[in-house]
Structure 1
Amino acid sequence: MAPMSMALLVLCDYLAILLPKIAHPLWFAALTLHITMMVLFFSFQISNFKFTNIFPSWFLYPVGVISSTLAGSTLGHTVFSQNMAMVCIAIYFVMLPMVLYRLVFAGKLPRPARPTLAIMAAPVNLSLAAYLVNFPNPDPILAGALSGIAITMTLLIYLCYFKLMRLKFQPSIAAVTFPSVISAIAMQRLTTWFAEQHTQWVWLHWFGFFEITIATVLVVWVSANYLKMYWPELSFKLNKPK
Structure 2
Amino acid sequence: MFKILLYKLPVAVCGLMLGTATLGNFFFTLNFNIGGYLFLLISILLTILFCTKCCIYSNEVLNELSDQNIGATFPTFTMTIITSVYIMWHQLQLHYLILVVIWWCMVFLQFIMICWFCYYHFWKQKHTKWIPNTSWFVTFVGIGVISETAIDFNRLFGKVVLCIAAVCCIVLLLFILHGKTWQLYNNTQLPMVIILAAPVALCLNAYLTITTQYSNIIVVVTIILSQCLFILTLYFVPQLKRIGFVPTFSALTFPWVTTAMSLYSVIEYLPSNFIILMNSFRVVFVIETLIATIAVIYVLFNYARWMRLQILMNIKE
Same fold (TM over 0.5): yes
Question: 2:179 is matched with which residue?
Answer: 102
Query: Is residue 219 of structure 2 the alignment partner of residue 146 of structure 1?
Result: no
Q: Which amino acid aligns with 1:136?
A: T
Distance 1:197 1:72 in 2: 31
What do residues 168-188 of structure 1 show as CA deviations (whole Å, max 9, x unaligned)? 211011111111111111111
The amino acid across from 1:221 in the alignment is Y
The answer to whether structure 1 residue 25 and structure 2 residue 101 are counterparts is: yes
For the structure 1 residues 217 and 175, does the alpha-carbon distance in structure 2 shift closer, same or farther, using more than 3 Å as the test? Answer: same
Using CA pairs below 8 Å that are at least 6 residues apart, which structure has the higher relative contact order?
Answer: 2
* Aligned CA distance change for structure 1 residues 98 and 68 (closer, same or farther; 3 Å): same
For 1:58, the aligned partner's letter is: W
Counterparts in 2 of 1:87-236, with a 5 A limit? 87-103=164-180, 108-196=184-272, 198-203=274-279, 204-232=281-309
Q: CA deviation at 1:3?
A: 1.4
Work out whether residues 52 and 102 of structure 1, in 8 Å CA contact, stay in contact via their aligned partners in 2: no
Correspondence for 1:4 among 77, 80, 91: 77
Secondary structure, aligned partner of 1:217: helix
Q: 1:81-140 CA distances to partner (integer Å, 9 max, x unpaired)? A: 112112211221122111223326x95322221111000011111101000001122101
Q: How many positions carry a matched residue from both structures? A: 233
Query: 2:122 maps to which residue?
Result: 46
Deviation at 1:197, TM superposition (A): 7.8
Tell me by how many angstroms 1:28 deviates: 1.2
Structure 2 residue runs of 5 or longer lacking an equivalent are 1-73, 313-317
Query: Hey, what does 2:142 align to over in structure 1?
Result: 64
1:74 matched residue in structure 2: 152
> Displacement, 1:232?
3.5
Task: Point out where structure 1 has 5 or more consecutive residues left out of the alignment.
Answer: 236-242
Give the share of equivalent positions with the same residue, in percent: 20
The amino acid across from 1:224 in the alignment is F
Counterpart of 2:82, as a letter, is L
Alignment RMSD (CA, Å): 2.2
CA contact (8 A) 1:13 1:70 kept: no
2:86 aligned partner = 13
State the one-letter code of the partner of 2:180.
L
Whole-angstrom CA distance in 2 between matches of 1:28 and 1:222 = 30
CA shift at 1:195, angstroms? 4.6
CA contact (8 A) 2:187 2:243 kept: no
Deviations 1:36-81 (A, max 9, x none): 1111011122132545642201111211111111221222x11111
TM-score norm. by structure 2 comes to 0.68
User: TM-score by structure 1 length?
Assistant: 0.88
